[in-house]
Structure 1
Amino acid sequence: MKEKKFAIYLLAGIFTIAVVAPFLWMLSTALMTTAQTLEQPPNPIPSPPTLDGTKEVFSRLPFLTLLGNTILVSIGRVVGTVLICSFAAYALAIIKVPGSRLILLLVLSLIMVPGDIFIIPAFEIISSIKLTNTLVALFLPSIFDAFGVFLLYQFFRGVPRELIEAARVDGASHLRILFTMVFPIARSGLISLSILTVLAEWKELLWPIVVNRSIDKMTLGPGLALLRGTYTTEWNVLMSAGVLAALPMIIIFLFLQKKFIASIARSGLK
C-alpha cells in the first residue's frame, strides 16, 4: 500500500514539474538582460534579476490597452457563451425538444471539427454587417461553443424533474426556471465553462489578426506576437510580456480551482 502511494506521489510530482517548469523558465528569462539570454550554456538563474524586459514591453506596446481589450472581449464572450449554451442545453436536457438526441449528436460532432475552417465565413459575415475592426467582432462568432453545450447538458440533466414540473404547475416560465432554479444547481458547471471560455479568448491569436487591423483594437495574443522579430528576438522582453499576460489567468484559476475541479468531476469528464 505504501509503495502504491509512493508511486502515485512520484508520478504526481513528475507531472507537476513538467507543468510548472516551463513557466518558471519563462519567469527566469523575463528577469534577465538580453545578453544573459544569449549565454552558452544557458544559465536558468538571472544574476542579478532585472525588470528591463518589463519596461521594454510597456515602451513598445500599448500593453494596458491590449489588456483592457482582452478583458472586455473576454467578458462579452463569457456572457454570450454562457447564455447561448445554457439556452441550448436547457432545450435539450429539460424541455427535450423533438429530435433532441439527434441535435445533441450534431452539436457533439462540431467538437471534432477544427474551428479554423469557420474563419472565412465568419469574416464574411462580420464584414457584411460592418463590424470589422471593432471589439464586438472579436467575440461575436465565438459565443456558441459545442463543448459548452455538452458540459451544461451534463449538469442540467441532474436537475430533479420534480422541481421543474412543480415550477411549471405554479406557472413559472422556462426563463424563470432556468435563471432561478437551474442556474443555482449548475453553478459549478457555469463557473467551469466561464473559466474555459476566458482561457480560450485569452490565448486567441489568429482571429483578431484576421478581423482587426488597428493595434488599439487588438488583444494580448496578437500584441505579444509583435514582439517577435524577423531576424532576432529579445527573449527577455517576449517572456516578460508572457508573464504579464499569464498572471490574470493564474490568479483567476487559483481563486476558482475548487469550483473548476468539482465541475469536471461532477460532469463525468476526464
Structure 2
Amino acid sequence: MKRGRERIILYAALSLCAFLTVFPFLWAVLTAFKSYEESIRIPPTFIPENFRLENFRIVLKKFPFSAFYANTFLMILFVIIFQLCLCSMAAYAFARLHFPGRELIFWSLLALLMAPGQIFLIPNYETMVKLHLADTVTALWLPKVFSAFGTYLLREFFRGIPRSLDEAAILDGCNYFQIYLWIHLPLIRPALSSLAILTAISAFKDLMWPLIVNNSMDKMTLSSGLSMLIGEHTTIYPQVMAGGLIAVLPMLLLFFIFQRQFIEGIATAGIKQ
C-alpha cells in the first residue's frame, strides 16, 4: 500500500514536470493561431477563439523560407561532416597515439571550452572579410568545422576501446589510419551519432554569428532570418510564433528519426568498454 502511494506521488511529480516542460511549446503553438489583439489580451487566453492561418500566410509571404531552409541545411550538413572527420581524427590521435606534447596540446585544447564563444566573433569575422567570404553561405559553416567539445567526447570513447584490438590489427599489417577507419570508427558509432545531433542543434540555434557575418536576406539562416520579426517598437507575437513553428519542424523531425542513436550515445558516453 505504501509503495503504491509512493508510486502515485512519483508519477504525479513527473507528470507535473513534463507539463511544465511542454507548456511553453503548447503556448507557442496556440499563439500562432491567434490574432494580435488576442495575443496581448489581459488576462491572457490559452485557447484561441478562432484558429487563424493568416499568420502563417503572412510569414511565408514576407520571408524567403526556401533560402532559409537551404542555407540552414547546407550549414548543418557541412558542419557535421567536417566536425565528425576532424574531431574524430584528432580524438584518435590524442587517445591512441604517442607523440611529444600530446597532453599539453590536449589540455590547451580543452582550455578553449572555458572561453566564451563571443570572444571569437570579431577575429572570425575579420578572417571571413579578408578571405572575401563575408555575406556568403560558406561563412556560415567555415568557422565551425572543428570543435574542442567534440574532440573531448570522442577521445573518451576511443580510450574505452581495448588496446588488444590495435595490437591484433598491427599484426595483420594495418597502419594507424586503417585501424582508425576500419576498426575504431565502427565501434564509436553511438558517439558519432550523438556528436552529429548535438552539432546540428548547436548550428541550427546559432543566432549571433549568422547575423554578424551575413546581411543579405537570401544568405540568412532560419534563426537569423526570423529575428527580423522582432520589431523595434512593436512585435506581432502570433507571427513570431508562426515563424518559429515553421523553423522548428525540421529539427523535431531530425530528433524523432535519430532519437535512438542520440539516447544510446549519451547513455554510454561515460561507460568504459
Counterpart residue identity of residue 58, structure 1 = L
* Structure 1 pair 163–117 and aligned structure 2 pair: CA distance change class (3 A): same
Please name the residue that 1:83 is paired with.
85
Please name the residue that 1:220 is paired with.
222
- Displacement of 1:155 in angstroms is 1.1
Note the residue ranges of structure 2 that are not aligned, 5 or more in a row: none
Please name the residue that 1:208 is paired with.
210
What percent identity do the matched residue pairs reach?
Answer: 39
Answer with 164-173 or 36-45: which moved more: 164-173
Tell me which of 243, 251, 258 is aligned to 2:253. 251
* Structure 1 pair 98–10 and aligned structure 2 pair: CA distance change class (3 A): farther
Please name the residue that 1:74 is paired with.
76
**In 2: Cα distance, 1:105 partner to 1:50 partner:** 55
Report whether the alignment pairs 1:183 with 2:185: yes
Counterpart residue identity of residue 235, structure 2 = T
- Displacement of 1:44 in angstroms is 0.9
**In 2: Cα distance, 1:111 partner to 1:4 partner:** 42
Matches within 5 A, 1:85-164: 85-164=87-166
- Displacement of 1:247 in angstroms is 1.1
CA deviation map 1:19-67 (0-9, x unaligned):
2111111101111122221222111111221211111111111012101
* Structure 1 pair 100–10 and aligned structure 2 pair: CA distance change class (3 A): farther
**In 1: Cα distance, 2:88 partner to 2:99 partner:** 14
Aligned residues: 269
* Structure 1 pair 14–143 and aligned structure 2 pair: CA distance change class (3 A): farther
CA deviation map 1:99-124 (0-9, x unaligned):
33333322222112110100111111
RMSD of aligned C-alpha atoms? 1.7
Note the residue ranges of structure 1 that are not aligned, 5 or more in a row: none
**In 2: Cα distance, 1:181 partner to 1:257 partner:** 25
* Structure 1 pair 115–192 and aligned structure 2 pair: CA distance change class (3 A): same
Report whether the alignment pairs 1:50 with 2:27: no
TM-score by length of 2: 0.93
**In 1: Cα distance, 2:142 partner to 2:6 partner:** 49
Tell me which of 24, 27, 34 is aligned to 1:32. 34
TM-score by length of 1: 0.94
